[in-house]
Structure 1
């Protein structure tokens, strides 16, 4: 006599699950490599499967450079708006401007308090010259996809934003009494530092990216009249340190270590901001 399906007792069946041996009807049968399985066993099998990730734990995506292209698009759109459409208001409103209490009329800008701290981020998306945005975006398109593919979208975006914020806050820490600057260079230098870490971690050729870094540092310090070297150094150091935490995290505790690395970099940014406020703010 045929028994009833364990999910549909009124339906008699002569087939059993290949894993748990419970009777299953045609409505519940799921084809397996050998015989049929019940829905619960199939679900348990899928739950036990390890989810594919990028090399450093990020979620795999069919387009490994989506965030890179999105960042380029945002920077280009903001450049057009700031340089041509909403000039000069947008550039003035979003720039990394700060005047400390020692300046007549200060504090204003970033030094004026939390209501102006947004400038630390918005300034990293503002460019006023085509060559400035062009050079930064070319570098981003060159090194961004490899980093995004290795880290995954979320970790890559966190690296980019933290590097940009670190460049802004380090510049504010050292020159917040009188400054006004724009550009994504802090974030770009952070990605260059991260690329050095990636090559070291992968045991790949380090010389090309190191030569590129040295070349850019020489230009940075040769033209301090038009280049904010503080933003470059701040982004470079924090970007490299963040990347080290993301890429050298042990596999068995990767999530925890990577979370602490990102939180630690955010804490460094916050500390520089608060020290700068103590120096220049009201």
Structure 2
């Protein structure tokens, strides 16, 4: 009973972020049950972001559905682990609706920027992953931390900058990584937080 109450209390601290993480895990399991996450055609059937499907066939829903698909268990694990800590903190400080807007608008926007870039360079690929939304959460939290004099909860602006730099560097030095979605998500998340976040003014007692 105590464990159940603890689980409920944990869920209530960041319900939107925890729902996103749970959906990513459940969808990964369903993808594996019905085929393989390493099968590109199977991933396209599930809604991966194919450049031609979006640019030519106007299947824009893929900008969102691709955010719930991953090409490996490690891919899923890395994204969800970062999202668990970053997203929870951002949701607590922004609220459920504003956090959801930053995550989904930032992630979908990052995927759209990636499509524009791929069309521009004539590179037609199939991509998937929550990293656009994850980087949007990092960018959003970075803005919140900056607005709070470089520190909020257990995060500092220096820590987040190092995390963003290392994540971007890892993408640039690895193959098969959608770097445009990472960078786009980071910038869009920061900009959306600029619009959505309003720091609470501390109340001054009247004497």
Provide the TM-score with structure 2 as the length reference.
0.80
The whole-number CA distance in structure 2 between the counterparts of 1:158 and 1:139 is: 18
Query: Where does structure 2 lack aligned partners over 5 or more consecutive residues?
Result: 1-10, 202-207
154, 165, 171: which one pairs with 2:97? 154
* 8 Å contact kept, 2:147–2:199: no
Q: Is the 8 A contact 1:82 1:127 kept in 2?
A: no
* 2:51 alignment partner in structure 1: 98
Task: Say which of 77, 98, 110 aligns to 2:54.
Answer: 110
Q: Are 1:215 and 2:163 an aligned pair?
A: no
* 2:126 paired residue among 164, 180, 183: 180
- After the TM superposition, list the runs of 4 or more consecutive aligned residues in structure 1 that deviate by more than 3 angstroms: 86-90, 248-251
Cα deviation for residue 83 of structure 1 reads: 2.8
Residue 280 of structure 1: aligned partner = none
Q: What's the CA shift string for 1:217-266, capped at 9, x where partnerless? A: 1101111x210101111111111100111124899xxxxxxxxxxxxxxx
Q: Provide structure 1 residue ranges, at least 5 long, that are not aligned to the other structure.
A: 1-61, 100-108, 252-282
Q: Which residue of 2 aligns with 1:228?
A: 178
Q: Answer whether contact 2:27 2:68 (CA < 8 A) is retained.
A: yes
TM-score normalized by structure 1? Answer: 0.60
Instruction: Map residues 117-136 of structure 1 onto 2, 5 A cutoff.
Output: 117-136=60-79
Instruction: Give 1:74 deviation, angstroms.
Output: 0.5
Whose Rg is larger?
Answer: 1
Pairing partner for 1:67 from 1, 4, 16: 16
Aligned mates of 2:200, 2:95 — CA distance in 1: 17
Deviations 1:43-64 (A, max 9, x none): xxxxxxxxxxxxxxxxxxx923
Per the TM alignment, residue 86 of structure 1 is displaced from its structure 2 partner at its CA by 4.2
Shift of 1:66: 0.8
Which structure is higher in helix share? 2
Match of 2:112 in 1: 169
Shift in Å, 1:155: 0.7
Aligned to 1:143: 86
Quote the RMSD (CA, aligned, Å): 1.9
SS in 2 for 1:142: helix
Say yes or no: does 1:241 pair with 2:184: no
- Count matched residues: 179
Structure number with the bigger relative contact order (C-alpha 8 A, sep ≥ 6) is: 2
In 2, Cα distance between equivalents of 1:111 and 1:77: 28
